[in-house]
Amino acid sequence: MAAPFAICLFISGGSSMPSKSQQITEDSPRTTRMKNTTRALFALVLVVSSILACAPSAAAGEKKKRCHAGDKAALLALKAALGNPYLLASWTSDTSCCDDWYDVSCDGATGRVIGISLSQDDNVTGAIPAAIANLTHLTSLTFHHLPGITAPIPPAIAKLSGLSMLIISWTGVSGPVPSFLGSLTSLTFLDLSFNSLSGSIPASLAALPNLSGINLSRNRLSGPIPTGLFSQLLSPDQQQVYLWLSHNNLSGTIPTGFDAVRFEHVDVSRNALSGDASVLFGAGKALQYADLSRNALSFNLSALELPERQLVGVDMSHNAIYGGIPPQVANMAGLQQFNVSYNRLCGQVPLFAANIAARFDVFSFQHNKCLCGTPLPTPCK
Ligand SMILES: *[C@@H]1O[C@H](CO)[C@@H](O)[C@H](O)[C@H]1NC(C)=O
Ligand SMILES: *[C@@H]1O[C@H](CO)[C@@H](O)[C@H](O)[C@H]1NC(C)=O
Ligand SMILES: *[C@@H]1O[C@H](CO)[C@@H](O)[C@H](O)[C@H]1NC(C)=O
Ligand SMILES: *[C@@H]1O[C@H](CO)[C@@H](O)[C@H](O)[C@H]1NC(C)=O
Ligand SMILES: *[C@@H]1O[C@H](CO)[C@@H](O)[C@H](O)[C@H]1NC(C)=O
Ligand SMILES: *[C@@H]1O[C@H](CO)[C@@H](O)[C@H](O)[C@H]1NC(C)=O
Ligand SMILES: *[C@@H]1O[C@H](CO)[C@@H](O)[C@H](O)[C@H]1NC(C)=O
Protein backbone atom coordinates (compact mmCIF):
# COMPACT_ATOMS: atom_id res chain seq x y z
CA MET A 1 0.00 0.00 0.00
CA ALA A 2 2.84 2.39 0.76
CA ALA A 3 4.19 2.53 -2.81
CA PRO A 4 0.93 3.34 -4.65
CA PHE A 5 0.17 5.90 -1.99
CA ALA A 6 3.48 7.63 -2.63
CA ILE A 7 2.58 7.70 -6.33
CA CYS A 8 -0.71 9.44 -5.47
CA LEU A 9 1.36 12.10 -3.74
CA PHE A 10 3.60 12.30 -6.76
CA ILE A 11 0.83 13.14 -9.26
CA SER A 12 -1.17 15.31 -6.89
CA GLY A 13 1.90 17.46 -6.15
CA GLY A 14 1.63 21.17 -6.98
CA SER A 15 2.50 22.24 -10.52
CA SER A 16 3.69 25.82 -10.07
CA MET A 17 6.26 25.38 -7.31
CA PRO A 18 9.60 23.74 -8.07
CA SER A 19 9.14 20.25 -6.70
CA LYS A 20 11.14 17.03 -6.86
CA SER A 21 9.71 16.25 -10.30
CA GLN A 22 10.65 19.65 -11.70
CA GLN A 23 14.15 19.60 -10.28
CA ILE A 24 14.67 16.38 -12.17
CA THR A 25 14.69 18.32 -15.44
CA GLU A 26 17.86 20.11 -14.30
CA ASP A 27 21.13 18.75 -15.58
CA SER A 28 23.38 18.27 -12.57
CA PRO A 29 24.99 14.81 -12.18
CA ARG A 30 22.65 14.03 -9.31
CA THR A 31 19.50 14.80 -11.25
CA THR A 32 20.57 13.01 -14.43
CA ARG A 33 21.11 9.96 -12.30
CA MET A 34 17.51 10.31 -11.16
CA LYS A 35 16.04 10.75 -14.62
CA ASN A 36 15.86 7.05 -15.34
CA THR A 37 14.20 6.46 -12.04
CA THR A 38 11.70 9.17 -12.88
CA ARG A 39 10.87 7.64 -16.25
CA ALA A 40 10.27 4.27 -14.63
CA LEU A 41 8.19 5.93 -11.93
CA PHE A 42 6.18 7.83 -14.53
CA ALA A 43 5.35 4.60 -16.39
CA LEU A 44 4.25 3.13 -13.10
CA VAL A 45 2.09 6.19 -12.40
CA LEU A 46 0.24 5.69 -15.70
CA VAL A 47 -0.52 2.09 -14.86
CA VAL A 48 -1.39 2.61 -11.24
CA SER A 49 -3.42 5.80 -11.73
CA SER A 50 -5.75 3.93 -14.10
CA ILE A 51 -6.47 1.50 -11.28
CA LEU A 52 -6.37 3.77 -8.28
CA ALA A 53 -8.41 6.85 -7.55
CA CYS A 54 -6.20 9.13 -5.60
CA ALA A 55 -7.81 11.15 -2.83
CA PRO A 56 -5.85 14.41 -2.48
CA SER A 57 -7.26 15.25 0.96
CA ALA A 58 -6.27 11.87 2.38
CA ALA A 59 -2.88 12.29 0.77
CA ALA A 60 -2.41 15.69 2.38
CA GLY A 61 -3.31 14.28 5.79
CA GLU A 62 -0.78 11.50 5.39
CA LYS A 63 1.89 14.01 4.39
CA LYS A 64 1.49 16.00 7.59
CA LYS A 65 1.78 12.88 9.66
CA ARG A 66 5.03 12.05 7.97
CA CYS A 67 6.82 15.32 8.72
CA HIS A 68 7.40 16.44 12.28
CA ALA A 69 6.35 20.11 12.61
CA GLY A 70 9.39 21.14 14.67
CA ASP A 71 11.77 19.45 12.23
CA LYS A 72 10.04 21.11 9.31
CA ALA A 73 10.27 24.55 10.93
CA ALA A 74 13.97 23.99 11.61
CA LEU A 75 14.60 22.91 8.01
CA LEU A 76 12.75 25.94 6.64
CA ALA A 77 14.81 28.17 8.94
CA LEU A 78 17.92 26.42 7.64
CA LYS A 79 16.86 27.05 4.05
CA ALA A 80 16.25 30.75 4.71
CA ALA A 81 19.59 31.11 6.49
CA LEU A 82 21.37 29.54 3.52
CA GLY A 83 19.91 32.16 1.17
CA ASN A 84 16.95 30.13 -0.18
CA PRO A 85 19.14 28.40 -2.78
CA TYR A 86 17.56 26.62 -5.73
CA LEU A 87 19.11 23.41 -4.40
CA LEU A 88 16.47 23.53 -1.65
CA ALA A 89 13.53 24.55 -3.88
CA SER A 90 11.69 21.36 -2.93
CA TRP A 91 11.68 22.45 0.72
CA THR A 92 8.30 24.22 0.86
CA SER A 93 5.90 24.65 3.76
CA ASP A 94 2.98 22.92 1.98
CA THR A 95 4.82 19.65 1.28
CA SER A 96 6.07 16.83 3.46
CA CYS A 97 9.72 17.09 4.47
CA CYS A 98 9.98 13.31 4.63
CA ASP A 99 8.26 12.48 1.33
CA ASP A 100 8.80 15.41 -0.99
CA TRP A 101 12.01 17.15 -0.01
CA TYR A 102 15.38 16.47 -1.55
CA ASP A 103 18.43 15.79 0.60
CA VAL A 104 16.40 14.99 3.72
CA SER A 105 15.89 11.56 5.19
CA CYS A 106 13.53 10.49 7.95
CA ASP A 107 13.15 7.60 10.31
CA GLY A 108 10.34 5.50 8.84
CA ALA A 109 8.91 4.62 12.23
CA THR A 110 9.05 7.96 14.03
CA GLY A 111 8.87 10.34 11.06
CA ARG A 112 11.69 12.39 12.57
CA VAL A 113 14.35 13.92 10.33
CA ILE A 114 17.54 11.90 10.81
CA GLY A 115 19.68 12.90 7.84
CA ILE A 116 20.59 15.95 5.79
CA SER A 117 23.00 15.77 2.89
CA LEU A 118 23.69 18.92 0.89
CA SER A 119 26.30 18.82 -1.85
CA GLN A 120 27.73 20.25 -5.05
CA ASP A 121 26.30 23.73 -5.22
CA ASP A 122 27.93 27.15 -5.37
CA ASN A 123 24.73 29.01 -4.50
CA VAL A 124 24.42 27.73 -0.96
CA THR A 125 26.00 30.53 1.02
CA GLY A 126 26.55 31.69 4.57
CA ALA A 127 27.57 30.12 7.84
CA ILE A 128 26.24 26.75 8.92
CA PRO A 129 22.95 27.98 10.43
CA ALA A 130 22.30 27.81 14.16
CA ALA A 131 18.80 26.58 13.28
CA ILE A 132 20.36 23.16 12.78
CA ALA A 133 20.34 22.76 16.57
CA ASN A 134 16.59 22.14 16.48
CA LEU A 135 16.97 18.99 14.36
CA THR A 136 17.40 17.00 17.51
CA HIS A 137 17.09 13.56 15.91
CA LEU A 138 19.81 13.99 13.29
CA THR A 139 22.23 11.09 13.01
CA SER A 140 23.89 12.10 9.76
CA LEU A 141 24.84 15.56 8.50
CA THR A 142 26.70 16.24 5.27
CA PHE A 143 27.85 19.53 3.73
CA HIS A 144 30.02 18.50 0.76
CA HIS A 145 31.44 20.61 -2.05
CA LEU A 146 29.70 23.81 -0.95
CA PRO A 147 32.34 26.54 -1.39
CA GLY A 148 29.90 29.27 -0.31
CA ILE A 149 29.61 27.82 3.19
CA THR A 150 31.96 29.86 5.36
CA ALA A 151 32.71 30.93 8.94
CA PRO A 152 33.56 28.63 11.86
CA ILE A 153 31.67 25.41 12.63
CA PRO A 154 28.95 26.69 15.00
CA PRO A 155 28.37 25.50 18.59
CA ALA A 156 24.84 24.56 17.46
CA ILE A 157 26.38 21.33 16.10
CA ALA A 158 27.11 20.27 19.69
CA LYS A 159 23.35 20.10 20.33
CA LEU A 160 23.02 17.22 17.87
CA SER A 161 23.76 14.55 20.44
CA GLY A 162 22.61 11.68 18.22
CA LEU A 163 24.99 12.56 15.41
CA SER A 164 26.89 9.52 14.17
CA MET A 165 28.30 10.86 10.92
CA LEU A 166 29.45 14.45 10.40
CA ILE A 167 30.85 15.47 7.03
CA ILE A 168 31.80 19.07 6.30
CA SER A 169 34.22 18.81 3.38
CA TRP A 170 35.27 20.94 0.41
CA THR A 171 33.66 24.03 1.94
CA GLY A 172 34.92 27.45 2.98
CA VAL A 173 34.58 26.86 6.72
CA SER A 174 37.46 28.22 8.78
CA GLY A 175 38.40 28.58 12.43
CA PRO A 176 39.23 25.63 14.68
CA VAL A 177 38.19 22.00 14.71
CA PRO A 178 35.89 22.76 17.66
CA SER A 179 36.61 20.97 20.90
CA PHE A 180 32.84 20.71 21.50
CA LEU A 181 32.79 17.92 18.91
CA GLY A 182 34.06 15.85 21.83
CA SER A 183 30.57 15.98 23.31
CA LEU A 184 29.03 14.13 20.36
CA THR A 185 29.36 10.73 21.97
CA SER A 186 27.61 8.83 19.17
CA LEU A 187 30.04 10.03 16.54
CA THR A 188 31.54 7.23 14.44
CA PHE A 189 32.84 9.13 11.41
CA LEU A 190 34.14 12.70 11.25
CA ASP A 191 35.21 14.16 7.91
CA LEU A 192 36.28 17.81 7.92
CA SER A 193 38.68 17.47 5.00
CA PHE A 194 39.39 20.12 2.34
CA ASN A 195 38.44 23.20 4.37
CA SER A 196 40.41 26.09 5.85
CA LEU A 197 40.47 24.91 9.45
CA SER A 198 43.37 25.99 11.61
CA GLY A 199 44.64 25.49 15.14
CA SER A 200 45.26 22.10 16.66
CA ILE A 201 43.30 18.86 16.76
CA PRO A 202 41.24 19.00 19.98
CA ALA A 203 42.18 16.43 22.59
CA SER A 204 38.46 16.07 23.33
CA LEU A 205 38.09 13.81 20.27
CA ALA A 206 40.03 11.17 22.19
CA ALA A 207 37.08 10.72 24.55
CA LEU A 208 34.70 9.52 21.87
CA PRO A 209 33.94 5.84 22.34
CA ASN A 210 32.78 4.99 18.81
CA LEU A 211 34.77 7.36 16.62
CA SER A 212 36.73 5.11 14.28
CA GLY A 213 37.11 7.27 11.17
CA ILE A 214 38.65 10.74 11.12
CA ASN A 215 39.47 12.77 8.02
CA LEU A 216 41.04 16.16 8.65
CA SER A 217 43.18 16.17 5.51
CA ARG A 218 43.81 19.37 3.55
CA ASN A 219 43.39 22.02 6.20
CA ARG A 220 45.86 24.27 8.00
CA LEU A 221 46.09 22.35 11.24
CA SER A 222 49.16 22.52 13.42
CA GLY A 223 50.31 21.12 16.75
CA PRO A 224 50.46 17.47 17.73
CA ILE A 225 48.22 14.49 17.08
CA PRO A 226 46.46 14.15 20.48
CA THR A 227 47.75 11.26 22.53
CA GLY A 228 44.85 9.03 23.42
CA LEU A 229 43.07 9.48 20.10
CA PHE A 230 41.06 6.28 19.49
CA SER A 231 41.99 5.04 22.96
CA GLN A 232 38.37 4.92 24.13
CA LEU A 233 37.11 2.81 21.24
CA LEU A 234 34.84 0.34 22.92
CA SER A 235 35.92 -2.76 21.06
CA PRO A 236 39.40 -2.10 19.71
CA ASP A 237 39.67 -5.73 18.55
CA GLN A 238 36.81 -5.39 16.14
CA GLN A 239 36.79 -1.79 15.09
CA GLN A 240 38.74 -0.90 11.96
CA VAL A 241 40.20 2.55 12.22
CA TYR A 242 40.75 5.11 9.48
CA LEU A 243 42.85 8.21 9.95
CA TRP A 244 43.53 10.82 7.28
CA LEU A 245 45.49 13.90 8.33
CA SER A 246 47.45 14.68 5.17
CA HIS A 247 48.37 18.16 3.93
CA ASN A 248 48.41 20.00 7.23
CA ASN A 249 51.25 21.30 9.38
CA LEU A 250 51.05 18.81 12.24
CA SER A 251 54.16 18.34 14.33
CA GLY A 252 55.32 16.17 17.21
CA THR A 253 55.39 12.40 17.23
CA ILE A 254 52.96 9.64 16.37
CA PRO A 255 51.32 8.72 19.71
CA THR A 256 52.76 5.53 21.17
CA GLY A 257 49.20 4.57 22.11
CA PHE A 258 48.56 3.98 18.41
CA ASP A 259 50.24 0.62 18.97
CA ALA A 260 46.91 -0.66 20.35
CA VAL A 261 44.71 0.82 17.60
CA ARG A 262 43.48 -1.40 14.80
CA PHE A 263 44.33 0.87 11.86
CA GLU A 264 43.33 -0.15 8.39
CA HIS A 265 44.24 3.08 6.56
CA VAL A 266 46.54 5.82 7.81
CA ASP A 267 47.49 8.90 5.81
CA VAL A 268 49.57 11.47 7.68
CA SER A 269 51.52 12.57 4.61
CA ARG A 270 52.72 16.15 4.11
CA ASN A 271 53.00 17.29 7.69
CA ALA A 272 55.94 17.95 9.98
CA LEU A 273 55.77 14.81 12.11
CA SER A 274 58.96 13.51 13.67
CA GLY A 275 60.19 10.49 15.58
CA ASP A 276 59.15 6.87 15.36
CA ALA A 277 56.31 5.51 13.22
CA SER A 278 56.97 1.84 13.88
CA VAL A 279 54.01 1.60 16.31
CA LEU A 280 51.75 1.59 13.26
CA PHE A 281 53.33 -1.62 12.03
CA GLY A 282 53.82 -5.07 13.52
CA ALA A 283 53.07 -8.64 12.46
CA GLY A 284 49.52 -8.93 13.76
CA LYS A 285 48.20 -5.54 12.60
CA ALA A 286 45.22 -4.98 10.28
CA LEU A 287 47.05 -2.27 8.35
CA GLN A 288 46.38 -2.21 4.62
CA TYR A 289 47.71 1.17 3.59
CA ALA A 290 49.97 3.74 5.20
CA ASP A 291 51.12 7.01 3.69
CA LEU A 292 53.73 8.64 5.94
CA SER A 293 55.46 10.54 3.15
CA ARG A 294 56.86 14.06 3.41
CA ASN A 295 57.36 14.39 7.14
CA ALA A 296 60.45 14.42 9.34
CA LEU A 297 60.07 10.87 10.68
CA SER A 298 63.26 9.32 11.91
CA PHE A 299 63.55 5.73 13.10
CA ASN A 300 65.43 2.52 12.39
CA LEU A 301 63.62 0.57 9.70
CA SER A 302 65.78 -2.57 9.99
CA ALA A 303 63.78 -4.34 12.65
CA LEU A 304 60.36 -3.25 11.44
CA GLU A 305 57.90 -6.09 11.06
CA LEU A 306 55.31 -5.47 8.37
CA PRO A 307 51.85 -7.00 8.66
CA GLU A 308 52.17 -9.58 5.88
CA ARG A 309 48.67 -10.74 5.23
CA GLN A 310 46.88 -7.67 4.00
CA LEU A 311 49.38 -4.83 3.58
CA VAL A 312 48.93 -3.33 0.11
CA GLY A 313 50.89 -0.12 0.19
CA VAL A 314 53.40 1.87 2.22
CA ASP A 315 54.80 5.26 1.26
CA MET A 316 57.53 6.48 3.60
CA SER A 317 59.27 8.72 1.07
CA HIS A 318 60.77 12.09 2.05
CA ASN A 319 61.57 11.46 5.71
CA ALA A 320 64.75 10.83 7.68
CA ILE A 321 64.33 7.09 8.17
CA TYR A 322 67.57 5.13 8.70
CA GLY A 323 68.81 1.55 9.02
CA GLY A 324 68.03 -0.93 6.26
CA ILE A 325 65.04 -2.37 4.40
CA PRO A 326 63.59 -5.41 6.17
CA PRO A 327 64.25 -8.52 3.98
CA GLN A 328 60.63 -9.58 4.58
CA VAL A 329 59.29 -7.14 1.95
CA ALA A 330 60.90 -9.16 -0.84
CA ASN A 331 58.30 -11.91 -0.45
CA MET A 332 55.11 -10.01 0.29
CA ALA A 333 52.90 -11.04 -2.62
CA GLY A 334 50.13 -8.52 -1.85
CA LEU A 335 52.39 -5.49 -1.63
CA GLN A 336 51.71 -3.15 -4.54
CA GLN A 337 53.54 -0.07 -3.33
CA PHE A 338 56.63 0.27 -1.14
CA ASN A 339 58.28 3.66 -1.38
CA VAL A 340 61.24 4.53 0.83
CA SER A 341 62.88 7.06 -1.48
CA TYR A 342 64.43 10.25 -0.04
CA ASN A 343 65.45 8.86 3.34
CA ARG A 344 68.74 7.87 5.01
CA LEU A 345 68.66 4.15 4.44
CA CYS A 346 71.69 1.95 3.88
CA GLY A 347 72.51 -1.60 2.84
CA GLN A 348 71.20 -3.84 0.09
CA VAL A 349 67.74 -3.58 -1.41
CA PRO A 350 66.26 -7.05 -0.80
CA LEU A 351 66.03 -9.24 -3.87
CA PHE A 352 62.33 -9.24 -4.69
CA ALA A 353 60.57 -12.43 -5.69
CA ALA A 354 60.38 -12.69 -9.49
CA ASN A 355 56.62 -12.23 -9.66
CA ILE A 356 56.65 -8.94 -7.72
CA ALA A 357 60.00 -7.39 -8.69
CA ALA A 358 58.46 -5.36 -11.53
CA ARG A 359 56.37 -3.36 -9.05
CA PHE A 360 59.40 -1.76 -7.45
CA ASP A 361 61.62 0.34 -9.66
CA VAL A 362 64.47 2.70 -8.90
CA PHE A 363 62.02 5.45 -7.95
CA SER A 364 60.94 3.48 -4.88
CA PHE A 365 64.49 3.49 -3.46
CA GLN A 366 66.39 6.47 -4.87
CA HIS A 367 67.97 9.27 -2.83
CA ASN A 368 69.02 7.42 0.27
CA LYS A 369 72.27 7.54 2.23
CA CYS A 370 73.85 4.29 1.07
CA LEU A 371 71.28 1.87 -0.34
CA CYS A 372 72.68 -0.40 -3.05
CA GLY A 373 71.81 -3.25 -5.38
CA THR A 374 69.05 -3.87 -7.93
CA PRO A 375 67.05 -1.90 -9.01
CA LEU A 376 69.45 0.92 -8.01
CA PRO A 377 72.40 1.67 -10.32
CA THR A 378 74.82 1.44 -7.38
CA PRO A 379 76.15 -2.12 -6.94
CA CYS A 380 76.81 -3.31 -3.38
CA LYS A 381 80.48 -3.62 -2.42
C1 LIG B 1 23.21 29.53 -9.07
O2 LIG B 1 22.72 30.87 -9.24
C3 LIG B 1 22.86 31.37 -10.55
C4 LIG B 1 22.45 32.82 -10.55
O5 LIG B 1 21.31 32.99 -9.77
C6 LIG B 1 22.04 30.50 -11.50
O7 LIG B 1 22.21 30.95 -12.82
C8 LIG B 1 22.50 29.06 -11.38
O9 LIG B 1 21.69 28.24 -12.19
C10 LIG B 1 22.45 28.59 -9.97
N11 LIG B 1 23.04 27.26 -9.88
C12 LIG B 1 22.42 26.23 -9.29
C13 LIG B 1 23.16 24.94 -9.28
O14 LIG B 1 21.35 26.32 -8.75
C1 LIG C 1 14.41 26.25 17.85
O2 LIG C 1 13.01 26.21 17.88
C3 LIG C 1 12.45 27.08 18.86
C4 LIG C 1 10.95 26.83 18.93
O5 LIG C 1 10.44 26.51 17.68
C6 LIG C 1 12.77 28.52 18.48
O7 LIG C 1 12.24 29.39 19.44
C8 LIG C 1 14.28 28.67 18.42
O9 LIG C 1 14.61 29.95 17.97
C10 LIG C 1 14.90 27.65 17.50
N11 LIG C 1 16.33 27.68 17.65
C12 LIG C 1 17.13 28.04 16.64
C13 LIG C 1 18.58 28.03 16.95
O14 LIG C 1 16.70 28.32 15.53
C1 LIG D 1 28.68 2.76 20.39
O2 LIG D 1 28.46 1.68 19.53
C3 LIG D 1 27.84 0.58 20.16
C4 LIG D 1 27.82 -0.57 19.18
O5 LIG D 1 27.32 -0.15 17.92
C6 LIG D 1 26.45 0.99 20.62
O7 LIG D 1 25.82 -0.09 21.25
C8 LIG D 1 26.60 2.15 21.58
O9 LIG D 1 25.33 2.62 21.94
C10 LIG D 1 27.38 3.27 20.95
N11 LIG D 1 27.67 4.30 21.94
C12 LIG D 1 27.25 5.54 21.81
C13 LIG D 1 27.63 6.48 22.90
O14 LIG D 1 26.61 5.91 20.83
C1 LIG E 1 39.79 11.68 3.34
O2 LIG E 1 40.70 12.63 2.82
C3 LIG E 1 41.51 12.17 1.75
C4 LIG E 1 42.47 13.24 1.41
O5 LIG E 1 43.61 12.99 2.15
C6 LIG E 1 40.62 11.80 0.61
O7 LIG E 1 41.41 11.37 -0.48
C8 LIG E 1 39.71 10.69 1.06
O9 LIG E 1 38.84 10.34 0.02
C10 LIG E 1 38.91 11.10 2.27
N11 LIG E 1 38.23 9.93 2.71
C12 LIG E 1 36.97 9.91 3.04
C13 LIG E 1 36.37 8.61 3.41
O14 LIG E 1 36.31 10.91 3.06
C1 LIG F 1 54.16 25.04 10.51
O2 LIG F 1 54.30 25.09 11.89
C3 LIG F 1 55.57 25.60 12.33
C4 LIG F 1 55.60 25.51 13.83
O5 LIG F 1 55.34 24.22 14.25
C6 LIG F 1 55.71 27.03 11.86
O7 LIG F 1 57.00 27.52 12.21
C8 LIG F 1 55.55 27.09 10.35
O9 LIG F 1 55.56 28.42 9.91
C10 LIG F 1 54.24 26.44 9.93
N11 LIG F 1 54.20 26.39 8.48
C12 LIG F 1 53.13 26.71 7.78
C13 LIG F 1 53.23 26.56 6.30
O14 LIG F 1 52.10 27.09 8.30
C1 LIG G 1 69.20 -0.55 13.20
O2 LIG G 1 68.82 -1.70 13.92
C3 LIG G 1 69.66 -2.83 13.64
C4 LIG G 1 69.11 -4.02 14.41
O5 LIG G 1 67.79 -4.19 14.22
C6 LIG G 1 71.07 -2.56 14.05
O7 LIG G 1 71.90 -3.65 13.70
C8 LIG G 1 71.57 -1.32 13.35
O9 LIG G 1 72.85 -0.96 13.85
C10 LIG G 1 70.62 -0.15 13.55
N11 LIG G 1 71.05 0.94 12.69
C12 LIG G 1 71.26 2.17 13.13
C13 LIG G 1 71.75 3.17 12.12
O14 LIG G 1 71.04 2.49 14.29
C1 LIG H 1 58.17 7.30 -4.56
O2 LIG H 1 58.14 8.60 -4.03
C3 LIG H 1 58.86 9.55 -4.79
C4 LIG H 1 58.92 10.83 -3.98
O5 LIG H 1 57.63 11.21 -3.54
C6 LIG H 1 58.23 9.68 -6.14
O7 LIG H 1 58.97 10.62 -6.92
C8 LIG H 1 58.24 8.35 -6.84
O9 LIG H 1 57.53 8.43 -8.04
C10 LIG H 1 57.57 7.28 -5.97
N11 LIG H 1 57.82 6.00 -6.58
C12 LIG H 1 56.85 5.12 -6.84
C13 LIG H 1 57.26 3.86 -7.50
O14 LIG H 1 55.70 5.34 -6.53
In angstroms and rounded to an integer, the radius of gyration of the C-alpha atoms of the chain is 26
For ligand 4, atom 10, the nearest C-alpha belongs to 215
* Sequence spans of domains, the chain: 1-65, 66-372
In ligand 1, which atom is closest to the CA atom of 86? Answer: 14
How does pLDDT run across 303-332, given as a tens digit for each residue?
999 998 899 999 999 999 999 999 999 999
For ligand 1, atom 14, the nearest C-alpha belongs to 86
For ligand 6, atom 13, the nearest C-alpha belongs to 323
> Distance, CA 251 to ligand 7 centroid (Å)?
23
For residue 59, pLDDT beyond 60: no
CA distances from 51 to 41, 45, 47 (A): 15, 10, 7
How does pLDDT run across 346-365, given as a tens digit for each residue?
999 999 988 888 899 999 99
For residue 114, pLDDT beyond 90: yes
Measure the N-to-C terminal CA separation of the chain; round to a whole number of Å: 81
pLDDT score at 3: 33
> Distance, CA 292 to ligand 1 centroid (Å)?
41
pLDDT score at 52: 32
How does pLDDT run across 225-242, given as a tens digit for each residue?
999 999 988 766 677 999
In ligand 4, which atom is closest to the CA atom of 247? Answer: 5
pLDDT score at 237: 64
- Relative to beta strand 140-146, strand 196-199 is unpaired
| Average pLDDT rounded to a whole number, residues 255-279 | 96
pLDDT score at 66: 78
Which range among 15-19, 188-192, 244-248 shows the weakest confidence by mean pLDDT?
A: 15-19
What is the dotted CATH code of the domain comprising 66-372? 3.80.10.10
For ligand 6, atom 9, the nearest C-alpha belongs to 323
**Ligand nearest, relative to CA of residue 136:** 2
